[in-house]
């Protein structure tokens, strides 16, 4: 009687249509936020575990959408990466972070800024950084740029070039999310980085997962062997601190040590 209807096909078309609509929506939201400067910066301390003093702060971006909601990066960064707008977003954050640094640098504060893998392919990045350092009057020695390890490993020679360029300006560099990617320890010795951040997924499970202990210890040993500092992410309970110190990891970041807070809360109004 009834001919088979291609429901699956109609459904597939609907899904593609939804996805396209979502992408168009986010391109527009990101565009408006870039034009209207409606991104906001949070800062979270990286602490010395021995005495709980601040080593530096990491800058974390939030986006206010047209409904005035403040969105976490997990909501909008994937879309920005898909559309390529992440390059402009990273530049926006860099510029804002340099202005902030100029304001707080006399107090000995350093800031770390995230760069996405795509920003490594932004030919103009070092020129932009040079110009913005000049325009802001920020001290390059108090700026750190974090790139994700996966980006560094997938495009090793580009990553090395960008990191080198950043260092020549006097800034420091770091490898983020270390251990989750296709982490080739061999590369670590060849990349010009000052420290690595051990991915939070290993740290979080340290108290109850023996595999994580083996991995974290190995990463810590190798980092030390290459003369790099290691920072543990996601230090969200006191019980982790002595474990990390056993592995001679001197620095941590996480909710237990200090949550991300708005810039005004950390440093007062400019
Ligand atoms: P990330 O660079 O690995 O930053 C650390 C993330 O872990 C932050 O999430 C921070 O709030 C969160 N975190 C810190 N301590 C804890 C903890 O104890 N427990 C847990 N569960 N989480 C903790 P956030 O702010 O949501 O940022 C997520 C990611 O978005 C960042 O991960 C980074 O990859 C990206 N991101 C943030 N700001 C920027 C930016 O300006 N540019 C680029 N390209 N990416 C950014
Ligand atoms: Ca980071
Ligand atoms: Ca990370
Ligand atoms: Ca991460």
Q: Give mean pLDDT, residues 116-144.
A: 95
- The model carries a pTM of 0.94
Closest alpha carbon to 195 in 227, 168, 219, 240? 227
> Atom 45, ligand 1: which residue's CA is nearest?
114
Q: Is the CB of 85 under 6 A from ligand 1?
A: no
Q: Give mean pLDDT, residues 251-267.
A: 98
For the stretch 143-171, pLDDT in tens is 999 998 888 888 888 989 999 999 999 99
Name the residue with tokens 């490993």.
Answer: 153
> Atom 11, ligand 1: which residue's CA is nearest?
260
Confidence at residue 182, expressed as pLDDT on a 0 to 100 scale? 64
From ligand 2's centre to the CA of 6, what distance in Å?
Answer: 46
Q: Is the CB of 255 under 6 A from ligand 1?
A: yes
Of the candidate ranges 68-82, 171-185, 200-214, the one whose mean pLDDT is the lowest: 171-185
Q: Is the CB of 95 under 6 A from ligand 1?
A: no
Confidence at residue 183, expressed as pLDDT on a 0 to 100 scale? 65
Which residue spans within the chain are E strands per DSSP?
A: 39-48, 53-64, 70-71, 111-115, 143-148, 172-178, 195-198, 229-232, 251-252, 261-262
From ligand 2's centre to the CA of 18, what distance in Å?
Answer: 31
5 secondary structure, DSSP code: P
Quick one: pLDDT band at residue 131, thresholds 50, 70, 90? very high
Ligand approaching nearest to the C-alpha of 234: 1
Name the residue with tokens 């040993």.
Answer: 221
- Enter the ipTM: 0.97
For the stretch 91-111, pLDDT in tens is 999 999 999 999 999 999 999
> Atom 41, ligand 1: which residue's CA is nearest?
61
> Atom 42, ligand 1: which residue's CA is nearest?
114
Q: Is the CB of 90 under 6 A from ligand 1?
A: yes
Q: What is the mean pLDDT of the chain?
A: 93
């Amino acid at each position: 009687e009834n001919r088979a209807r291609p429901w699956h096909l109609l459904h597939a078309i609907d899904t593609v249509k939804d996805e396209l609509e979502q992408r168009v929506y986010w391109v527009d939201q990101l565009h408006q936020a870039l034009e209207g400067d409606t991104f906001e910066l949070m800062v979270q301390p990286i602490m010395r575990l021995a005495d709980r003093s601040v080593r530096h702060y990491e800058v974390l971006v939030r986006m206010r959408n047209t409904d005035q909601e403040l969105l976490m990066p997990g909501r909008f960064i994937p879309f920005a990466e898909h559309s390529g707008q992440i390059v402009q977003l990273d530049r926006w954050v860099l510029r804002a972070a340099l202005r902030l640094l100029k304001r707080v640098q006399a107090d000995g504060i350093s800031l770390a800024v995230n760069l996405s893998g795509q920003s490594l392919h932004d030919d103009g990045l070092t020129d932009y950084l040079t110009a913005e350092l000049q325009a802001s009057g920020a001290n390059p020695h108090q700026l750190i740029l974090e790139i994700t390890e996966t980006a560094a490993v997938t495009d090793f020679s580009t990553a090395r070039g960008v990191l080198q360029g950043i260092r020549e300006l006097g800034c420091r560099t770091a490898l983020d999310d270390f251990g989750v990617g296709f982490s080739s320890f061999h590369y670590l010795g060849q990349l010009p980085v000052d420290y690595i951040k051990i991915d939070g997924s290993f740290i979080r499970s340290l108290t109850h997962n023996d595999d994580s202990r083996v991995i974290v210890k190995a990463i810590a040993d190798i980092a030390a062997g290459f003369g790099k500092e290691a920072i543990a992410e996601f230090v969200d309970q006191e019980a982790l601190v002595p474990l990390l110190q056993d592995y001679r990891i001197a620095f941590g970041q996480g909710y237990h040590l200090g949550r991300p807070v708005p810039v005004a809360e950390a440093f007062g109004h400019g």
